[in-house]
A and B are shown apart, each in its own frame.
Chain A
Amino acid sequence: MSEETPTFDLSAFRDPALAHKLIERISELAAALGETERFEGRPIKLMEVCGTHTMAIAKAGLRSVMPDNIVLSSGPGCPVCVTANPDIDLAIEVAKQPGVILTTFGDMIKVPGSWTSLAQEKARGADVRVVYSPLDALALAADTPDKLVVFVSVGFETTTPIIAASVKRAAAAGLENFCILAANKTVPEALRALAGDPEVGIDALILPGHVSTIIGTAPYEFLADEFGVPGVVTGFEPVDVLLGIEELLSSLLEITRGGSAKISIAYERAVKPEGNVVAVDLMNEIFMPCDVAWRGLGVIPGTGLKLREPYGRFDATVRVPVEPPESRETPGCQCGQVLRGIIAPPECRLFGRACVPEHPVGPCMVSSEGSCAAFYRYRSVEEA
């Protein structure tokens, strides 16, 4: 770890000595919880709802060091995985239109819709390009004035303000050949659906790190107040994740001793209770809430986002009128249940057989941080 020099050294959050200390604490807390009436003889279910957490846990092999009575469950935290087939089918249809350049984050390109994927359509001649940032799509639009550049906008609140900023820039620059397919969603109300579902059975929530960087903690208070479910905003380095788990278990122990559930922050260096107000304001300036269907969760009112009237011309569905093909749920796919944490990826009938990263059936196996892909790629030596 860093000594005298004041360089900002984040490697401490990967320090094995600190990790081992936290693992020991977690074992002690889990043992204590196992002796309480509430948790005697049953596992303690902690759910994370951020794909990057799914990856971080899998990559660091944290499940292999958890005590037996702790279950780390993955929820609908991957914005790609929760994008329903009709939305994917629409993007694919738009990509096939002449004069369109479809730009997308890398995450979306291999996701199968009802019938095909953007990657397969690219192989068949559609102009589909992967970008790192929506600013790259703006630059492309400026460079190719005779084409319509469509950006597939997915993501939760970490990404939405960035799209909003990009749309605002396009408007300011008078860039008329740029538009977006808005498929962004918001997280807190989806958590309500999960917290209230006895089949899902969450004891505590590992709250998303960077979504919370934007929205702060207020939007989660209802989890503690209405459902008695504690939540800790957690970072992504191994030590961050372990600290979040440690704080959740401490919280649960307090609850069994008569305390009340609360929402707290373990990722203090990157999250303020009030969040990033500039980002939230920008998001609200460009977008407004609407209803949207989540894969596996059905329609959750108010969790979708659409462009407000002054920016309506940046809506790709207005600029490229297409009839999407009949959408269908992929037969046999159990992504919906995996996304709600009701089954773990290996419990899906298709996992590891018909559905593997080389030929995925559903998005949970495609998106590199979909639960199934993370499980498959980073499976521990015991599970493989």
Chain B
Amino acid sequence: MSTLSREDVANLARLARIEMTPDELDHLATEMDVILTAVARVQEVATADVKPTSHPLPLRNVTRPDLVIPSLSSEAALSGAPAKEDGRFRVPQILGEES
């Protein structure tokens, strides 16, 4: 039961901003397909009366009160930034010239 194509993997890689070689795509397409097939088997076992589990903990409404606690200093916040300017994170151009 093949469900994941090479194109699917290429698209996922693009969405995740991961660069992949053609070899890696071939390899991963097969490998991820095996994983999906294995997971699909679990779905076969799950009958209509079994609720999908997104949270294994039997917890609800875990909240905190609306209280301010001290933040990082600007220096600490920026300490891992590859580039910074005027107390801000500096990032490369987002959109190119207008068409």
Q: Do A and B come from one complex?
A: no
Interface residues, chain A, CB within 8 Å of chain B? none
Interface residues, chain B, CB within 8 Å of chain A? none
